[in-house]
Amino acid sequence: MKKICFLLIFVIGLMEAQNSRTEYTDLMLKSEKSELATKQFLAKAKHDFQETKSPVYESYIGVGNFFMAKHAINPFSKMSYFKKGKKYLESAVAKAPNNLEIRFMRYTCQVEMPSFLGYNKNIVEDKKFIEENYKNSKDLTLVKQIDGFLKN
């Protein structure tokens, strides 16, 4: 009975994590074009990070700040959001350097970031880490996202 309960809790946890990733992915896609969606994404990430202290949510805060920089008009605000985003994302990587999702987020951000910002020093190492590890991941949604990004 204990094994069945543990398995059930584990499966429910996986389903919740999958639903959470889907929700974050949807918000991220909307955030690229909408400041309002970015604010919702950032609020959710901050809330989830406060609740769990999980580095994954910390990395989402970083990504949310990058999106806010994209929507900001004032150059000082843009730079402020960029610096915050970088700080959060690098902190998440430092706390969980073997987390595939976090490394993938940093990789995609650095690839997409304008080169004059100088935030591109980890592209080669992150890509190598991702290519060596993503096909072994049990998170099929993440594997599909990575596969799609690497093929583009």
pLDDT for 29 equals 86
Question: Strand ranges (DSSP E) for the chain?
Answer: none
Helix (H) or strand (E) holding 113, with range, is none
Neighbouring CB atoms inside 10 A of 103's CB total 25
pLDDT of residue 24: 86
* CA–CA distance, 43 with 146 (Å, rounded to integer): 25
pLDDT of residue 23: 85
Contact 31, 67 (CB under 8 A): yes
Helix axes 140-151, 2-31, angle to 10 degrees: 30
Token duo for residue 27: 């918000």
- Provide the residue type at 49 as one letter: F
Q: Tens of pLDDT along the chain (152 residues)?
A: 333 323 222 332 333 444 567 788 888 889 889 999 999 999 999 999 999 999 999 999 999 999 999 999 999 999 999 999 999 999 999 999 999 999 999 999 999 999 999 999 999 999 999 999 999 999 998 999 999 999 98
3-class DSSP state of 98: coil
**What is the rounded end-to-end Cα distance, in angstroms, of the chain?**
47
